[in-house]
Structure 1
C-alpha cells in the first residue's frame, strides 16, 4: 500500500475520531452524569410540557414541529420529532407521529406538546395565522401520502422512522426555511436506489446510501456528513457546528 493511500486512510480515521467518536463519547458521559440513562417508558412523564395555550383560547391557525430526546441510552444521540396542527377555530390540536409498534402513523397518541420519555420538547418550526393556514392542507396531504405506513415498515435505524416521517412532512410545507436537528436520526434515510435527491428545503442536494452514509449540501440544511445515521457539519446560514450527540451548537436556529 502506497504512502499516499496510508496518509489518506489516517486522515479519514482522524476525521471520524474528531467529528464523530469524540462528540458522541463526551455526550454519552454528560448524559449519564445527568441520570438520563435510567428508567423506561412506563415510569416516564408523558404529560404536556406547557408549550401550547389551551386550544379554545388560541383561535388562529397554528403549526408546530417538535423534537424531544428519546428514552434511556438512545437519548445520547437521537431525537424523536412530530407534527402538531390546529386549524383556525378548531377546538383541539392534532398531533401526528410515527412509532415502531402497530401501525406506524399515529394521530393524537400523546399530548400535542407532551414530553417524550420525560424529555421536554423543543420547537423546530412555529407557524401562526395565515402562514399556518397555508401549510395545514399541505401537511395533512403529506401525512396521508407518507409511503412507509404499513405495519412492519418502521425501522428505528437507519430508517424509515419517526424522523423520516417528519422530514417527509417538512418537505411539503411551503418555504418553511427550517430543517430537523442533526440528532434527528433517520431524517436523511432514503430507500436503496434513491442515491441522490433534493433536500427537504429544496435549497440543495442530498446524497444518501440508504441512511448509512451520506452528504447534504443546502442553504437551509448547511453542510452535513452522515455516518451511520449520526451527523456532523456546519450551518452556514446561522453559523453553528453540528455534532453527533450534542446537536447544533451556535447561533440559535
Structure 2
C-alpha cells in the first residue's frame, strides 16, 4: 500500500506540475480583455526572415504555437514555411481541422503569424546550401501525407501528426517536436513501429496513446494517453506535458547560413 500511495502521488505530481507551470506562464486574462477566435490577433510575430531581403537564400522554418483557448495549456499547433532561392515570398503549410474536406492548407495565414494570439516559437531553421533540395523533399512529404481528409484533435491525426510526418520523411530537418505536441506520436495500428518525428530515432506507438520514442534529438520519451514524459540528453531537459520541456532551451539554431545566388530568370 505504501509504494502504491507514493506512486500515485508521483503520477499526480507529474500531471499537475507541468499544467501549473503552463498556467503560470500564460495566466488567463494576461493579455487584457478576453478575445474570441474571430478577434484574436493573427499579425506577424516579426521572427521570419525578410524573404525579399534574402531573395538569394533558400529558407525552411518550422514553427509551433499554443493552440487557442483552454487547449493551449496542453498542446501546440505547428506549421512549416519555406522559400526557394530566388523567391521573394514564403509558402506556408499546416493542417487545419475546419473549413473544408482537405485539411492540408497552403498559405492559410501569414508565415510567422500569431496563432490566435499565441506567439510561435522556431523548432527548425535551415538556410542556404542544400535547402532547395530539402524543399523538394518537404513538398514530396506533404503530397504523401496519409490523412489529407481526416482530422481529430485527439489523439490524431492532426496538425502535429502532419508536421511529424514531414520530419520523418525529411531527416535533414533535424526536427525535435516538443512533448506537448499532442498527435506527433499518432501511428495507425497497421504501422505501429518506425522512425520518430526527427527521422533519426525509433518510435513505437498505438494510435498515439501508448508508446515510446528514443533518438538523438528527442532523447527518451514515453507516451501515456497522448501525454509525453521523458528526458532530453542532447540539450539537458525534462520533456513534460503541457509545457513541452523544463530545462535547457531548445531554440533552433540557424543551419547552413551560406547564401546561394539567385537563379537567372
Q: 1:16 aligns with which of 8, 11, 17?
A: 11
For the residues of structure 2 that align with 1:10 and 1:195, how far apart are their CA atoms? 33
Deviations, residues 107-139 of structure 1 (Å, cap 9, x unaligned): 001000111011111100000011322210000
**TM-score, normalising length: structure 1:** 0.89
Indicate the residue corresponding to 1:125 in structure 2. Answer: 124
Structure 1 position 31 matched with structure 2 position 30: no
RMSD between superposed Cα atoms in Å: 2.0
Q: Tell me: higher relative CO, structure 1 or 2? Use CA pairs within 8 A at least 6 residues apart.
A: 2
Q: How does 1:53-64 map to 2 (within 5 A)?
A: 53-59=49-55, 60-64=57-61
1:162 Cα deviation from its structure 2 partner: 0.3
Indicate the residue corresponding to 1:217 in structure 2. Answer: 214
Q: How does 1:106-125 map to 2 (within 5 A)?
A: 106-125=105-124
Q: How does 1:230-245 map to 2 (within 5 A)?
A: 230-245=227-242
Q: 2:48 aligns with which of 29, 35, 52?
A: 52
For the residues of structure 2 that align with 1:72 and 1:193, how far apart are their CA atoms? 34
For the residues of structure 1 that align with 2:24 and 2:128, how far apart are their CA atoms? 42
Q: Residues 95 and 162 of structure 2 are in contact (CA less than 8 Å); yes or no, is this contact kept in structure 1?
A: yes
Q: Residues 38 and 72 of structure 1 are in contact (CA less than 8 Å); yes or no, is this contact kept in structure 2?
A: no
**TM-score, normalising length: structure 2:** 0.86
Q: How does 1:79-90 map to 2 (within 5 A)?
A: 79-90=76-87
Q: Residues 40 and 71 of structure 1 are in contact (CA less than 8 Å); yes or no, is this contact kept in structure 2?
A: no
Q: 1:160 aligns with which of 157, 161, 184?
A: 157
1:20 Cα deviation from its structure 2 partner: 2.0
Structure 1 position 196 matched with structure 2 position 197: no
Structure with greater proportional helix content: 1
For the residues of structure 2 that align with 1:31 and 1:56, how far apart are their CA atoms? 34
Matched residue SS, 1:203: coil
For the residues of structure 2 that align with 1:34 and 1:15, how far apart are their CA atoms? 31
- Give ranges in structure 1 of 5+ residues lacking alignment: 1-5
Indicate the residue corresponding to 1:185 in structure 2. Answer: 182
Indicate the residue corresponding to 1:40 in structure 2. Answer: 36
For the residues of structure 1 that align with 2:80 and 2:231, how far apart are their CA atoms? 25
- Give ranges in structure 2 of 5+ residues lacking alignment: 251-265
Matched residue SS, 1:96: strand
Q: Residues 135 and 174 of structure 1 are in contact (CA less than 8 Å); yes or no, is this contact kept in structure 2?
A: no
